[in-house]
Amino acid sequence: MDTIACQSLCPALQIYKLKFTYLPPTKLTMVQADTKAIVQEVGLRDGLQAAACTMPTKDKIRWIDAAYQAGVRHMEIASFVPPRLLPQMADAAEVVTYAKGYHDLVITALVPNEKGALNALAAGVHRIVVPISVSHAHSLANVHKTPAAMVEEFGKIRTLIANQKNPINLVAGLSTVFGCTLQGIVSLQAVCDIVEKCLEAGADIIALADTTGHATPLQVSQTIAAVKKIAGSKFTSMHFHDTRGMGLPNTLVALEHGIREFDASLGGLGGCPNAPGATGNVVTEDLVYMLESMGYATGIDLAKLVAMRDIIRQALPNEPLYGFIARAGIPISYPFIQS
């Protein structure tokens, strides 16, 4: 059925087309089977940082092993922060050292300052992501620095990395891009200003995060378009939360705009402890199901991914887990891609 016919049957589609700058819906069904999408598992960092209890190191290692066996090749494994502030990450160096045994695994760590960067570099990570909140209020609550001060810190970390023998990618991880529970509205201009400053400071990668689950499809479309004009090919990654059920719809919009790397957490575990209401990372299992069903190759075995949830249940029995695929099961038609 063509677009005109569809619109005649459903007038709402006409409104949808006028309000949102999307590609025609038919484009979504025409993805080539060899198109690749990267799913970075962030549960070991973003997921565990908000957990009430600390996952034992042996169980983190089980998680890494199982994720690798399931085909995951990008993991954000730890935060290099003082253990007194985040005891869940006290074993960061040990966990990274173990993960390095998988030579084709891309290991990312979050660091908020120079000291954390030095420790991450010593451990041997491949990518460092620095959290730079666009929201002034969230930045003070999360890292006790203003956004401008964090950009300055980012520049210092760039200098540290420049002295390394092995290439390390420095990621400007912009948080609260789409709104903030502490500050409220975050303007698109403020986002673009921070992006420009991060690029000037030497960012290799620009990544945008919907830390508090405020993002809507229209907002995502507008933001990606604006940031792409500034960052170009350096803007590659998105991090959505499913707090209001918009995680996957927002991912669809990002795909249409050419973004091909997405963060997700096993079982939807996690959230930012310094952003009230920031629950619900996108569920890795649901994201992989959607991407593979659209023809995007993630390289991840969905059944093995779902089975991994037992690791969290055993190690953190009181942590709630989410996900439609785990609840309903993988359909026998998966992945159904009609040529």
Question: Does any domain span residue 334?
Answer: no
Cα–Cα distance measured from residue 190 to residue 223, given in angstroms and rounded to the nearest whole number: 11
Q: pLDDT grade, residue 163 (50/70/90)?
A: confident
- What percent of the chain lies above the pLDDT cut of 70? 86
**Is a pLDDT exceeding 80 seen at residue 209?**
yes
How far CA 193 is from CA of 70, 86, 175, 230, in Å, comes to: 39, 30, 14, 10
Question: Which residue range is the domain that position 36 belongs to?
Answer: 32-328
Exposed e or buried b per residue across 48-81, where buried means at least 16 C-beta atoms within 10 angstroms of its C-beta: bbbbeebbeeebbbbbbbbbbebebbbbbbbbbb
- Specify the DSSP element, H or E, that contains 154: helix 147-162
Give the pLDDT band of residue 233 (cuts 50, 70, 90). very high
Q: What is the pLDDT of residue 338?
A: 66
Higher pLDDT, 256 or 20: 256
Q: What residues contact residue 26 under an 8 Å CB cut-off, 6+ apart? A: 3
In a domain, 25, yes or no: no
Give the model's confidence band at 208: pLDDT under 50 very low, under 70 low, under 90 confident, else very high: very high
Q: Is the pLDDT of residue 292 over 50?
A: yes
Number of structural domains, the chain? 1
In the beta sheet, which residues pair with residue 170?
A: 128
Q: Amino acid identity, residue 335?
A: P
Contact (Cβ atoms closer than 8 angstroms) between residue 80 and residue 120? yes
Q: What is the mean pLDDT of residues 43-64?
A: 95
SS3 132: strand
d(CA 51, CA 270): 7
- Residue 221 CB: number of other CB atoms within 10 A? 19
Asked if the model's pLDDT at residue 97 lies above 60, the reply is: yes
Contact yes or no for 268/248 (Cβ under 8 A):
no
Residue 175 lies in a domain: yes
Domain annotation covers residue 3 = no
In a domain, 194, yes or no: yes
Token pair belonging to 20? 């949102």
Task: Please check whether residue 85 lies inside any domain of the structure.
Answer: yes
CATH of the domain at 218: 3.20.20.70
Answer whether residue 254 shows pLDDT above 70.
yes
Give yes or no: 6 in active site: no
Mean pLDDT of the chain: 89
Instruction: Tell me whether residue 4 is exposed, middle or buried, using C-beta atoms within 10 angstroms of its C-beta: 0 to 12, 13 to 18, 19 or more.
Output: exposed
Question: Which position has the token pair 């439609």?
Answer: 324
Give the tens place of pLDDT for each residue, 5-50: 333 333 333 333 434 444 433 344 434 444 899 999 999 999 999 8
**Residue 274 above 70 pLDDT?**
no
Choosing from 10, 180, 192, 272, which is the catalytic residue?
272
Lowest mean pLDDT segment, chosen from 152-156, 270-274, 286-290: 270-274
Report whether pLDDT(214) > 80: yes
Whether 239 is covered by a domain: the verdict is yes
Partners of residue 109 on adjacent β-strands:
78, 128
**Which pLDDT belongs to residue 272?**
61
Average pLDDT of span 162-166? 87
Question: What share of the chain in percent tops pLDDT 90?
Answer: 80
pLDDT at 281 over 60: yes
- pLDDT above 60 for 65: yes
Q: What is the mean pLDDT of residues 257-278?
A: 81
CB 316 within 8 A of CB 55: yes
Q: Which tops the pLDDT comparison, 26 or 142?
A: 142
Q: Please report whether residue 4 resides in a domain.
A: no
Residue 203 in this model has a pLDDT that exceeds 90: yes
